[in-house]
Amino acid sequence: MSEFESLLFLSKEVFVYQIPPRQANAGYRATEWDVDNPIFKARLRVLLAGEEKCVVRLEDKSTGELFAACPVDPKGLAVEQVLDSSRYFVLRVQDEATGSKMYIGIGFLDRSEAFDFNVALEDFRRSLVPAETGGSGNASGATALAAEPKLDFSLKPDQKITVKMAGFKKKKPAASGQTPAAASSDNPFFIPPPPPPAGGRR
Protein backbone atom coordinates (compact mmCIF):
# COMPACT_ATOMS: atom_id res chain seq x y z
CA MET A 1 0.00 0.00 0.00
CA SER A 2 1.29 3.40 -0.97
CA GLU A 3 -0.93 5.37 1.42
CA PHE A 4 0.10 6.24 4.93
CA GLU A 5 -0.94 3.40 7.25
CA SER A 6 -2.11 3.69 10.83
CA LEU A 7 -2.67 0.81 13.24
CA LEU A 8 -6.23 0.42 14.54
CA PHE A 9 -5.85 -2.91 16.34
CA LEU A 10 -3.19 -5.53 17.09
CA SER A 11 -3.41 -9.07 18.41
CA LYS A 12 -0.17 -10.96 18.91
CA GLU A 13 -1.80 -14.34 18.32
CA VAL A 14 -4.97 -15.59 16.66
CA PHE A 15 -5.85 -19.07 15.41
CA VAL A 16 -6.69 -19.57 11.74
CA TYR A 17 -9.10 -22.29 10.62
CA GLN A 18 -10.28 -23.91 7.44
CA ILE A 19 -14.07 -23.76 7.56
CA PRO A 20 -16.92 -25.60 5.80
CA PRO A 21 -19.15 -23.72 3.34
CA ARG A 22 -22.05 -21.70 4.68
CA GLN A 23 -25.33 -23.56 4.77
CA ALA A 24 -27.81 -21.59 2.62
CA ASN A 25 -28.68 -18.29 4.36
CA ALA A 26 -27.69 -19.51 7.81
CA GLY A 27 -24.72 -17.99 9.57
CA TYR A 28 -21.45 -19.64 10.53
CA ARG A 29 -21.00 -21.65 13.73
CA ALA A 30 -17.68 -22.34 15.43
CA THR A 31 -18.98 -25.69 16.67
CA GLU A 32 -18.82 -26.88 13.06
CA TRP A 33 -15.08 -26.14 12.89
CA ASP A 34 -12.18 -28.24 14.08
CA VAL A 35 -11.20 -25.61 16.64
CA ASP A 36 -8.62 -27.87 18.28
CA ASN A 37 -6.58 -28.05 15.08
CA PRO A 38 -5.93 -24.60 13.58
CA ILE A 39 -4.09 -24.48 10.26
CA PHE A 40 -2.00 -21.47 11.30
CA LYS A 41 -1.19 -19.22 14.26
CA ALA A 42 -0.88 -15.63 13.15
CA ARG A 43 -0.38 -12.09 14.30
CA LEU A 44 -3.41 -9.98 13.38
CA ARG A 45 -3.26 -6.29 12.52
CA VAL A 46 -6.05 -3.95 11.45
CA LEU A 47 -4.54 -1.18 9.33
CA LEU A 48 -6.10 2.02 8.04
CA ALA A 49 -4.68 3.20 4.71
CA GLY A 50 -5.63 6.77 3.92
CA GLU A 51 -9.16 7.61 5.07
CA GLU A 52 -11.34 5.07 3.27
CA LYS A 53 -9.33 1.83 3.12
CA CYS A 54 -9.01 -0.68 5.92
CA VAL A 55 -7.49 -4.16 5.84
CA VAL A 56 -7.17 -7.05 8.29
CA ARG A 57 -3.75 -8.64 7.88
CA LEU A 58 -2.79 -12.08 9.15
CA GLU A 59 0.99 -12.30 9.37
CA ASP A 60 3.67 -14.70 10.50
CA LYS A 61 4.33 -13.97 14.17
CA SER A 62 8.10 -14.18 13.78
CA THR A 63 8.86 -12.72 10.35
CA GLY A 64 5.84 -10.52 9.70
CA GLU A 65 5.34 -12.17 6.31
CA LEU A 66 1.79 -11.84 5.01
CA PHE A 67 -0.32 -14.99 5.33
CA ALA A 68 -3.69 -13.55 4.22
CA ALA A 69 -5.33 -10.14 3.81
CA CYS A 70 -8.98 -9.21 4.26
CA PRO A 71 -10.03 -5.84 2.78
CA VAL A 72 -12.80 -4.44 5.00
CA ASP A 73 -15.94 -3.26 3.21
CA PRO A 74 -18.32 -0.58 4.61
CA LYS A 75 -21.27 -3.00 4.67
CA GLY A 76 -19.54 -5.47 6.96
CA LEU A 77 -19.67 -8.42 4.56
CA ALA A 78 -15.95 -9.17 4.66
CA VAL A 79 -15.84 -9.85 8.41
CA GLU A 80 -18.64 -11.81 10.06
CA GLN A 81 -18.98 -12.96 13.66
CA VAL A 82 -20.17 -16.53 14.17
CA LEU A 83 -23.56 -17.19 15.73
CA ASP A 84 -22.44 -19.27 18.69
CA SER A 85 -19.37 -17.48 20.07
CA SER A 86 -18.01 -13.97 20.58
CA ARG A 87 -14.39 -15.07 20.00
CA TYR A 88 -14.64 -16.43 16.45
CA PHE A 89 -15.02 -14.64 13.12
CA VAL A 90 -15.09 -15.45 9.42
CA LEU A 91 -12.85 -13.40 7.11
CA ARG A 92 -13.22 -13.03 3.36
CA VAL A 93 -9.56 -12.96 2.35
CA GLN A 94 -8.43 -11.82 -1.07
CA ASP A 95 -5.29 -12.44 -3.09
CA GLU A 96 -3.78 -9.05 -3.94
CA ALA A 97 -2.33 -10.31 -7.23
CA THR A 98 -5.20 -12.35 -8.69
CA GLY A 99 -8.17 -10.93 -6.78
CA SER A 100 -9.42 -14.44 -5.94
CA LYS A 101 -11.38 -14.73 -2.68
CA MET A 102 -11.95 -17.41 -0.07
CA TYR A 103 -13.34 -17.64 3.46
CA ILE A 104 -11.34 -18.63 6.53
CA GLY A 105 -12.08 -18.62 10.25
CA ILE A 106 -10.13 -16.94 13.04
CA GLY A 107 -10.35 -17.30 16.80
CA PHE A 108 -9.12 -15.14 19.68
CA LEU A 109 -7.87 -16.52 22.98
CA ASP A 110 -9.51 -13.73 24.95
CA ARG A 111 -13.04 -12.32 24.58
CA SER A 112 -11.82 -8.80 25.35
CA GLU A 113 -9.48 -8.94 22.35
CA ALA A 114 -12.32 -10.15 20.14
CA PHE A 115 -14.46 -7.28 21.40
CA ASP A 116 -11.74 -4.70 20.68
CA PHE A 117 -11.26 -6.16 17.20
CA ASN A 118 -14.97 -5.78 16.46
CA VAL A 119 -15.03 -2.23 17.84
CA ALA A 120 -12.10 -1.20 15.62
CA LEU A 121 -13.95 -2.39 12.53
CA GLU A 122 -17.21 -0.72 13.58
CA ASP A 123 -15.42 2.58 14.19
CA PHE A 124 -13.97 2.42 10.67
CA ARG A 125 -17.38 1.74 9.12
CA ARG A 126 -19.00 4.58 11.06
CA SER A 127 -16.28 6.97 9.89
CA LEU A 128 -17.47 6.40 6.31
CA VAL A 129 -21.16 7.10 6.99
CA PRO A 130 -21.05 10.95 7.00
CA ALA A 131 -19.22 11.05 3.66
CA GLU A 132 -21.73 8.67 2.04
CA THR A 133 -25.02 9.96 3.48
CA GLY A 134 -24.26 13.64 3.87
CA GLY A 135 -24.42 13.33 7.64
CA SER A 136 -21.63 15.85 7.96
CA GLY A 137 -24.06 18.58 6.97
CA ASN A 138 -25.13 19.09 10.57
CA ALA A 139 -21.53 19.46 11.65
CA SER A 140 -20.78 21.99 8.90
CA GLY A 141 -23.92 23.93 9.77
CA ALA A 142 -22.93 24.03 13.42
CA THR A 143 -19.46 25.22 12.43
CA ALA A 144 -20.89 27.99 10.28
CA LEU A 145 -23.22 29.06 13.08
CA ALA A 146 -20.34 29.14 15.55
CA ALA A 147 -18.35 31.30 13.12
CA GLU A 148 -21.01 34.04 13.01
CA PRO A 149 -20.17 37.13 15.09
CA LYS A 150 -21.98 37.36 18.39
CA LEU A 151 -24.09 40.51 18.81
CA ASP A 152 -24.24 42.34 22.14
CA PHE A 153 -27.87 43.13 23.00
CA SER A 154 -27.18 44.26 26.58
CA LEU A 155 -28.20 47.79 27.60
CA LYS A 156 -25.60 50.45 28.13
CA PRO A 157 -25.69 52.29 31.50
CA ASP A 158 -27.37 55.39 29.95
CA GLN A 159 -29.93 53.49 27.83
CA LYS A 160 -33.60 52.87 28.69
CA ILE A 161 -36.35 50.85 27.02
CA THR A 162 -39.98 52.02 26.91
CA VAL A 163 -42.60 49.32 26.35
CA LYS A 164 -46.06 50.38 25.07
CA MET A 165 -49.01 48.00 25.34
CA ALA A 166 -51.79 48.58 22.81
CA GLY A 167 -55.17 49.23 24.41
CA PHE A 168 -53.73 49.74 27.85
CA LYS A 169 -54.74 52.97 29.58
CA LYS A 170 -53.20 54.36 32.67
CA LYS A 171 -55.51 53.97 35.62
CA LYS A 172 -56.97 57.26 36.76
CA PRO A 173 -57.39 57.93 40.45
CA ALA A 174 -60.99 57.56 41.57
CA ALA A 175 -62.70 60.90 42.14
CA SER A 176 -64.30 61.58 45.46
CA GLY A 177 -67.72 59.98 45.66
CA GLN A 178 -67.02 57.65 42.71
CA THR A 179 -67.85 53.99 43.35
CA PRO A 180 -65.19 51.30 43.00
CA ALA A 181 -67.16 49.74 40.11
CA ALA A 182 -67.12 53.01 38.21
CA ALA A 183 -63.42 53.46 38.85
CA SER A 184 -62.77 49.91 37.69
CA SER A 185 -64.51 50.59 34.36
CA ASP A 186 -61.40 52.44 33.26
CA ASN A 187 -59.38 49.26 33.64
CA PRO A 188 -59.32 47.34 30.31
CA PHE A 189 -58.97 44.07 32.21
CA PHE A 190 -62.05 44.72 34.39
CA ILE A 191 -65.05 42.45 33.63
CA PRO A 192 -68.38 44.22 34.39
CA PRO A 193 -71.16 42.34 36.19
CA PRO A 194 -73.93 40.77 34.07
CA PRO A 195 -77.01 42.95 33.38
CA PRO A 196 -80.13 42.45 35.57
CA PRO A 197 -82.89 40.15 34.21
CA ALA A 198 -85.57 41.69 31.98
CA GLY A 199 -88.43 43.21 33.93
CA GLY A 200 -86.43 43.26 37.08
CA ARG A 201 -85.71 46.95 36.93
CA ARG A 202 -87.64 49.34 39.05
Residues 58, 122: Cα–Cα separation, whole Å: 19
**What residue type is 137 in one-letter code?**
G
Boundaries of every domain in the chain:
5-133
Q: Is 5-133 CATH 2.30.29.30?
A: yes
What is the structure's pLDDT at 75?
Answer: 82
Mean pLDDT by groups of 10 residues along the chain of 202 residues: 81 97 86 95 94 93 96 90 96 92 97 97 87 47 46 52 48 53 49 54 50
49 Cβ contact partners less than 8 Å away, ≥ 6 residues apart: 1, 3, 4, 5, 55
Sheet-wide strand order for 5-18 = 66-71, 53-60, 40-49, 5-18, 101-108, 88-94, 79-81
Residues 89, 17: Cα–Cα separation, whole Å: 10
